[in-house]
C-alpha cells in the first residue's frame, strides 16, 4: 500500500532543476507528490507554509497559458514569494537576445525561472548558462509539471500508483511523452492509441521501454483506441493540434478522425475509470462534452493540483530549508 502522506524518502532529493522527468527517479517523484499532498492539506486548513519568503520566480512565456501562469504565480505567493511574468513580447529574448545572456543576467536577480517555450534545448541552455533553478513549464517535447499534477490526481482517486492501467488516446506529443516517462518509471501500465504518423519517437520509446522492463510496467502503442482503452483505470487525452501547430490544424483534425473519446469508447474502460485532460480542451474533437463534463471526469481537480504540485517543486528546488535535504512538514 503506497502511503504518500507518510512517505519516507530512502534516497535524498538532490536536484537543481526540473527540465524533464527523465532526470527524476521513482523515489524523487513520490517525494514531490508527498510534499504536494501535505502542502494541499496545509492550504486547506490555513496552516502557514511560507517556505519561499523573499524569493522571486521569473516566469518566461513564449506560448500562451492559463493554468501554468496562474498556478505558478499564486503558488509562489502562497509560499511567501513573488512572481514576475516575463512575456517574450516584452523581454529582449523575443528580440533576439541570446538564451545564454538572458540566463546569466536573470540569475543575478531571480531565485528561479519557470519557462514555457518551444525547444527543449532552450530550457536546457537556460540551466547550463544560468546559476539558479530552472523549471520546465512546457516545451514541444515535455510537460513535467502537468504530469506531476496528473499523478497526484490519480493517487487521490485511486489511493495507489501501482497496478494501474492508463490509456492515452491522441497525439504522441509533450503530454504523451511525459506520461510515458512517468508511467514507465512508476510501474504504471500505459497504452497509447494514435495514428501511425503521430506516435512518440523511437528514441522516446526505447528510453521508456528500458525503464518499463525494470519497473514491471507494460507499454502498448496501437492505432486502435478500443484496444488501448480496454480495462483502463485512467483515460487521458489532449488536443490534436498543440501550441505552435496551428497551421497544421485541418490536416490533424482529419488524421485523428475516429480517436474522439465519446461515451461509447469510454464505456470500454473500467466502470470506475477516471477521465483526465491537461486542458485546454476542444469539446467535440478529442473528447465529447458528455465525457469531459460527465461524472467520471476529474479534470478540474487535476487543474487544481497543478498549484499544489508546483508549490512542491518550487519548495524543493528553491527553498534554503529544503534544498538537498529531507525535511518533515
Ligand atoms: N495544462 C496547461 O498547461 O494549461 P495552460 O496551457 O493553460 O498553462
Ligand atoms: N499539448 C498541448 C498541451 C497544452 C497544455 C500543447 O502543447 O499545446
pLDDT the model gives residue 12: 84
pLDDT the model gives residue 320: 87
pLDDT tens digits, 96-135: 999 999 999 999 999 999 999 999 999 999 999 999 999 9
Supply the pTM of this predicted model: 0.97
What percent of the chain stands above pLDDT 90? 94
pLDDT the model gives residue 11: 80
pLDDT tens digits, 277-289: 999 999 999 999 9
In this structure, the residues whose C-beta lies within 6 A of any atom of ligand 1 are 65-68, 138, 146, 278-280
Asked if residue 202 has pLDDT above 70, the reply is yes
pLDDT the model gives residue 300: 98
Mean pLDDT (the chain, rounded): 96
pLDDT tens digits, 38-73: 999 999 999 999 999 999 999 999 999 999 999 999
- Which active-site residues does the annotation give? 116, 143, 146, 238, 278, 306
Banded pLDDT at 322 (limits 50, 70, 90)? confident
pLDDT the model gives residue 324: 66
Specify whether the CB–CB gap between 66 and 303 falls below 8 A: no
pLDDT the model gives residue 10: 79
**Protein residue whose Cα sits closest to atom 3 of ligand 2:** 242
Banded pLDDT at 329 (limits 50, 70, 90)? confident
CA 63 / ligand 2 centre spacing (Å): 10
Q: Which atom of ligand 1 is nearest to the CA of 69?
A: 8
Banded pLDDT at 235 (limits 50, 70, 90)? very high
- Work out the average pLDDT over 150-178: 98
- Work out the average pLDDT over 291-301: 98
Banded pLDDT at 199 (limits 50, 70, 90)? very high
Amino acid at each position: 500500500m503506497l502511503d504518500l502522506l507518510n512517505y519516507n524518502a530512502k534516497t535524498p532529493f538532490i536536484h537543481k532543476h526540473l527540465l524533464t522527468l527523465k532526470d527524476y527517479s521513482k523515489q524523487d517523484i513520490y517525494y514531490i507528490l508527498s510534499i504536494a499532498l501535505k502542502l494541499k492539506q496545509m492550504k486547506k486548513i490555513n496552516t502557514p507554509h511560507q517556505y519561499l519568503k523573499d524569493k522571486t520566480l521569473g516566469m518566461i512565456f513564449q506560448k500562451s497559458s492559463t493554468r501554468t501562469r496562474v498556478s505558478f504565480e499564486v503558488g509562489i505567493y502562497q509560499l511567501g514569494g513573488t512572481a514576475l511574468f516575463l512575456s517574450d513580447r516584452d523581454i529582449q529574448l523575443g528580440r533576439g537576445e541570446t538564451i545564454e545572456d538572458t540566463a546569466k543576467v536573470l540569475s543575478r536577480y531571480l531565485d528561479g525561472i519557470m519557462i514555457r517555450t518551444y525547444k527543449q534545448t532552450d530550457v536546457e541552455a537556460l540551466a547550463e548558462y544560468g546559476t539558479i533553478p530552472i523549471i520546465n513549464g512546457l516545451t514541444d517535447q515535455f510537460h513535467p509539471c502537468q504530469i506531476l499534477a496528473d499523478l497526484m490526481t490519480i493517487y487521490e482517486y485511486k489511493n495507489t500508483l501501482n497496478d494501474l492501467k492508463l490509456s492515452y488516446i491522441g497525439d504522441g506529443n509533450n503530454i504523451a511523452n511525459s506520461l510515458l516517462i512517468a508511467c514507465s518509471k512508476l510501474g504504471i501500465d500505459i497504452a497509447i492509441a494514435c495514428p501511425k504518423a503521430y506516435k512518440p519517437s523511437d528514441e522516446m520509446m526505447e528510453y521508456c521501454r528500458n525503464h518499463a522492463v525494470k519497473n514491471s510496467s507494460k507499454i502498448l502503442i496501437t492505432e486502435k483506441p478500443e484496444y488501448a482503452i480496454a480495462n483502463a483505470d485512467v483515460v487521458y487525452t489532449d488536443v490534436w493540434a498543440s501550441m505552435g501547430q496551428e497551421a497544421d490544424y485541418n490536416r490533424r483534425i482529419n488524421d485523428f478522425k475516429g480517436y474522439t473519446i465519446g461515451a461509447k469508447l469510454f464505456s470500454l474502460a473500467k466502470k470506475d475509470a477516471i477521465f483526465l485532460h491537461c486542458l485546454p480542451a476542444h469539446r467535440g474533437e478529442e473528447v465529447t462534452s458528455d465525457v469531459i463534463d460527465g461524472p467520471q471526469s476529474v479534470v478540474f481537480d487535476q487543474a487544481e493540483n497543478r498549484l499544489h504540485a508546483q508549490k512542491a517543486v518550487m519548495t524543493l528546488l528553491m527553498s534554503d530549508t529544503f534544498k538537498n535535504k529531507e525535511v518533515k512538514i
